Structure formats: structure tokens, C-alpha cells
Homo-oligomer: A and B are copies of this chain.
Amino acid sequence: MARKTGSHSEITRPRIRDAALKLFARHGYAAVSMRQIASEVGIQAGAIYLYFEDKQALLFELMNTHMDDLHAAWAAVEKPDGPMNLLRTFTRFHIFYHIDRPDDVFIAYMELRSLEPENYAVILEKRRAYEQILEGILTKGVEAEAIELRDVRVTTKAVIGMLTGVTTWFREDGRLGRNRLERHYWRLLRRMLLGASVRA
């Protein structure tokens, strides 16, 4: 190694990542050219290939690290006892994590179809595993009779849809703060999952 580690490589690479993240989220993978990404970083298009094999690898890295970070972040969260407490924790985690990373989330949901089959399978599996976390919480809740519902699988989808939808409209500077938002969603969720018998 001739150059001091971290002189350029460790600066340019993440800058390419960030530029791609922003542009893919804004205009879509197919609509963004390597030259646009390079221009955003202030380099020539050819230089990108020193850090990424091709355009597809760039997209895959964005989506894959997003999913890995998501799992890692959840793993690092302190888990309280009791299904409802755990569900509340998950709700808060999901909402906050997602509204903090709008570009990553947007890409992760919109560009699945731009992935080549192998990469697609990898991302889909990690997404499935993430939804499995929620499904597991709901299942435990039902077993402990803290939650009452007919079909855990469908309910999981409904809850994920409701929670993830937040990213499509929430603006940090909007009428509602993130804490009030989270409390509101939790209130809805709790009502939705508590059966009449449990509630009484």
C-alpha cells in the first residue's frame, strides 16, 4: 500500500454512496445515470468503477446495508417484558427509524424491481425476516392473551402497511411532531389489537 489508508478511497466511496442514495430516491434507479452520480460527487463517471463493480452493485449495496442496519438497530434496542410493551417498543422503533431515513426507505420499497434476481432474493429475505419480528411479537401477544385477533399473518401485513405508510407523508416540520405522531399511531394500534374481552 503506497497511499495512507483513508486518504481518498475512504472519502470518495461514501460520497458516491450518498450521491447515489439521494439521486436514486429522487428520480429512480433507471432514470439516474452514472454520469449524474459522478457529477454530484465531483468526479468522472469512470472513477465510480474503482469502488463499485457496476450500477447494479451500487444499488444493491444501498439496499443491502439499509436492511442490515435496520436489523442491527433493532437488535440493539432494549426489549421490555410483556407483549404489549414490546409491541409499543417496536412501533416506536419502526416509526422513528423510518422517518429518519426517508431516502433509504424509499429506495428499499421502490427499487425492488430494479434488482437482478439474485440480489432481489437477498433483499426480499431480509425484509421477510424484519416483518417476521412483528409477526413474532403478535403471536406471543395472542398466546399470552394480551392481544386478540383472528389471523396473525394478515394483521402483520396490515400493521406494517399502516406503520410504513408514515414515511410517504410525514414531514419533520409539519403540523405534527414525531412524538405526537408516534403516540397517535400507538393509540390506534392498541385499540386495533386489544379484543373487547381484554379491554374490559
The CA of A29 and the CA of B28, in the complex, are separated in Å by 10
Q: Can you tell how many copies of this chain the complex includes? A: 2
A84 touches B (CB below 8 Å): no
A3 touches B (CB below 8 Å): no
Q: Find the B residue at minimum CB distance from A181.
A: B154
The CA of A28 and the CA of B32, in the complex, are separated in Å by 13
A73 touches B (CB below 8 Å): no
A165 touches B (CB below 8 Å): yes
Interface string of A140-178 (1 = CB under 8 A from B): 000000000111011101111111111011000001100
A30 touches B (CB below 8 Å): yes
The CA of A153 and the CA of B170, in the complex, are separated in Å by 12
Sample of 7 more A-B contacts, CB < 8 Å, known A29-B31, A160-B165: A28-B28, A31-B114, A154-B176, A154-B185, A161-B165, A191-B193, A191-B194
A-B contact pairs, 8 of them (CB 8 A): A28-B28, A28-B29, A150-B187, A157-B165, A158-B184, A158-B185, A161-B165, A161-B168
